[in-house]
Structure 1
Amino acid sequence: MRADRRPRGGGAAGGGVRGDEGTVRDPAAQPERTRMAWRRTTLAFAAVVALLARGTVHDGGPPRQYALAALGALVWLVFLALAHRRIGALDVPRPGPLGTRTAYAAAVCTLAVPISGMVVWLW
């Protein structure tokens, strides 16, 4: 029995695509990996915002720290909406590329939370 479990025959069976080395790859694997990456990033983002909020509440800082923690939570919600939108776009047979506006918005959200965390820490 063959160890690599590739289908027998000349072509790619089961809708697979031949890769560079002649191996059969699953075209649905890339969208699934992308979907899982968006979910992982959203979860990590939530942990950072939770730590930001915990530090603010635990230290009992001035109202501006609470405002920055609330801003971090709002930015996380925007990122969550972007991630949910992208995950939904991956449910088609051939998903399109990530839009430029979505990419910029995700980058701004990703940079806004650490910056607000640094501002809270420095105050």
Structure 2
Amino acid sequence: MQPERTRLAWRRTLLALTAVLLLQLRPAFTGRAVDAVLGGTAVAVWLAVLAADWRRATGAGPRRLAHWSMPLTALGAAGLALLGVAHVLGGVH
């Protein structure tokens, strides 16, 4: 049961990060360059977390990178939070 609970926890984390990403992409279509750059950065962070978690879940890629998925996910979540703060401070429309 433990591996299944762990897999489901990782999926919930990715689902939450996906929801945050979608909220941050909404202002990217306002036409302001700053919002587009922040949205593109959010996509890049999300893709890095997704790739690391996929490698961990499937065992694909070098084994030495498997232990980096948790710190990368934490940094990715923190990075998306900081990008959200930048959107709010920049006056999201």
TM-score calculated relative to the size of structure 2: 0.80
Over the matched positions of the two proteins, sequence identity in percent amounts to 35
Matches within 5 A, 1:63-78: 63-78=33-48
Matches within 5 A, 1:1-123: 29-57=1-29, 60=30, 62-89=32-59, 99=67, 101-123=68-90
- Count of aligned residue pairs for this structure pair: 84
Can you list the C-alpha shifts for 1:32-87, whole angstroms capped at 9, x where unaligned?
11111111111111111001111332xx2521111011100111111111111222
CA contact (8 A) 1:39 1:83 kept: no
Greater RCO, CA 8 A, separation 6+: 2
Which is greater in Rg?
A: 1
If each structure's helix is expressed as a fraction of its own residues, which one has the higher value?
Answer: 2
RMSD of aligned C-alpha atoms? 1.6
Q: What stretches of structure 2 of length at least 5 have no aligned partner? A: 60-65
Q: What stretches of structure 1 of length at least 5 have no aligned partner? A: 1-28, 90-97
